[in-house]
Amino acid sequence: MKRLTLAIIALLSLIAAQATTSARFGYFDYRGDDDYYRENPLTEPGDYHNPVISGWASDPSVCRVGDDYWLVTSTFGYFPGVPLYHSRDLVSWEHVGNILSRPSQLPWLKGLSIDKGGIYAPALSYNPADSTFYMITTCVLSGKDGGSVNFYVTAKDPMGEWSDPVLLPDVEGIDPSFFFDEDGRAYIVHKSDEHSPVKWSNYRALSIIEFDPATGKTVGKPVKFKEEGVGPEERLERNEGPHIYKIDGKYYLIAAEGGTNWVHSEVCYRADSVFGPYSRWSRNPMLTQRLLKTNRKLPVTSAGHADLVQTPEGEWFAVFLGCRPWNNGEDHLGRETYMMPVKWSADGFPYITQCLDTVSIKRNIPGRATMQESKQAGNFQWRDDFSASALRPEWMGLWGDPSVYAETGKGLTLSCAPVDTKSGKTPAYVGRRMQHHKFTAETEVELRPKGEESAGLLMVKNEQRQYYLAVQKGRVALYRLGKKKDNTLLASAPVEKEGKPIGLKVESKGTAYDFWFRLPGHDWQLLAADIPAEHIATQRGGFTGSTIGLHATSMPL
């Protein structure tokens, strides 16, 4: 009887699976076309465009092993977590994988805010004592309890499989980072929990605790970070994203200060021992753009959250986040990754900018034999025909693994899942970062809807702010998706023959989008023009930029 019951259940599951409507996408094509890059091409050896990783790539952390540079950034409520980038020259980066690529490594994402919860400020380090890479980070939780979880994962080969998370119960707050000293001892520096507003003192909201790589656990109690030499004019709150380095026998600590907005900055301290006390550099901040005129042309703003790395030749460089505001502050790109050389002051402190120094979009590194070649910077085309057996590492899902709905090999087949993109549950959506103010993204989709099913291009800022260009039963339709069931049909056009390939395209003009469709045997037709980009712009809150990709659902709109 039990075997018969199991057989019936299996048969019903098979029938249900076969009954699920699927959409087939033939390709996805993305082309950047920002004016600045076209008007200022790279021409000389050493030329490169900033940002070196364009689009949402916030909180960068970098390390070097031999001639290889590795870099990670934040992912918040997206999966997989923590993209891994590789470079040989610090300006030409390739997205080669994702560190948190298994659902077992990210069990906390379900139901979190896409752009306020999830993975914050990962820090990547290499410990030469055990030849191991360490990635440490915070998952910020939401709901009634809130709080956060700090953990790390390890790998001998960064391109290989990373371990399951190791929790750090004695590390509170956010933004932890490892420091591996020359004597084999190790430490974790992090932003401690704090009350707001912060009562000012020389004890900042940072702590340092020893770590034992042999046991994988912390040792003793956290030591509060103490600074010396602070002046009253420098009392900005929210030191975060700290890193420690040992350079010429001295310990240097850098940290972001002022919060991620136009006053954002990076500051530097120095000490004779890892626990301090630390002396604050008299000319801090070591990086900021807050002193520049707000009406300057092509500004880079909110610069901060830096990490330093030394080349084999002994030069120092910094990666950090910044923003390229558009249309009086409107932007859908979010915080991006920039790179600049590090200079040293007469009194022995590192700095990136001083006074009116600017973070410019085109730069040159003297002495380099080549110029930047990258699919992460400047104008480029990125195309996927889904011929591989798995999704490429650039694709992301919301709150979990979207590959459970996906089949690749001859195009991409997505199940029309009974999940919407506001629910906190993983929908059938594979998206990638928008990386230009002006771009074109297109696809071709085949769908035979039986009822409420739809499939098409989805643009996402968070669970309340999205645009959806969809093929539905009998029509192509454009929706503005808002809070809960607040969806607005903006435009539609009839489709007579269902199941045939229909082209879908969005053109970004920076401040507005045009949406197009193409029926079999016809040219592109404009469905809706000048749809405001503001609806999915980042200045309306949250820590991510916007993504665009392919979506299929059976939920009514």
Say if CB 545 and CB 332 are below 8 A apart: yes
- The helix (H) or strand (E) run that includes residue 504 is strand 502-509
Active-site residue, 240 included:
yes
pLDDT of res. 6: 42
Tell me how far apart the alpha carbons of residues 402 and 410 are, in angstroms, rounded to a whole number.
Answer: 18
Say if CB 136 and CB 241 are below 8 A apart: no
For residue 522, the number of C-alpha atoms closer than 13 Å in the C-beta half-sphere is 15
Taking the CA atoms of residue 381, residue 318, residue 100 and residue 213 in that order, the dihedral angle to the nearest 10 degrees is: 160
Say if CB 52 and CB 338 are below 8 A apart: yes
Active-site residue, 463 included:
no
For residue 275, the number of C-alpha atoms closer than 13 Å in the C-beta half-sphere is 7
Which of the residue ranges 294-298, 346-350, 388-392 would you say has the lowest mean pLDDT?
294-298
Tell me how far apart the alpha carbons of residues 232 and 230 are, in angstroms, rounded to a whole number.
Answer: 7
Tell me how far apart the alpha carbons of residues 206 and 188 are, in angstroms, rounded to a whole number.
Answer: 11
Kindly report, residue by residue over 466-519, the tens digit of the pLDDT.
999 999 999 999 999 998 778 999 999 999 888 899 999 999 999 999 999 999
Taking the whole predicted model, whether its pTM rises above 0.75 is answered as: yes
Q: Tell me the β-bridge partners of 249.
A: none
The tokens describing 27, both together, are 């390709």
Selected from 3.20.20.60, 3.40.50.10420, 3.30.360.10, 2.115.10.20, the CATH number assigned to the domain covering 35-364 reads 2.115.10.20
The tokens describing 344, both together, are 């040293």
Say if CB 453 and CB 477 are below 8 A apart: no
Instruction: Compute the average pLDDT of residues 259-287.
Output: 92
Taking the CA atoms of residue 53, residue 543, residue 478 and residue 481 in that order, the dihedral angle to the nearest 10 degrees is: 170
Catalytic residue among 47, 59, 175, 336: 59
Mean pLDDT score of the chain: 92
| DSSP for 337-363, written as a single string | EEEEE-EE-TTS-EES--TT----SEE
Q: What are the residue ranges spanned by the domains of the chain?
A: 19-29+380-553, 35-364
Catalytic residue among 34, 115, 172, 240: 240
Which of the residue ranges 46-50, 227-231, 356-360, 458-462 would you say has the lowest mean pLDDT?
227-231
Tell me the fold of 19-29+380-553: Jelly Rolls (2.60.120)
Q: Tell me the β-bridge partners of 379.
A: none
Q: Tell me the β-bridge partners of 48.
A: 363
φ/ψ of 546, rounded to 5, equals -100, 150
- The helix (H) or strand (E) run that includes residue 271 is strand 265-271
pLDDT at 382 exceeding the cut of 70: yes
Give the number of other Cβ atoms within 10 Å of residue 361's Cβ: 20
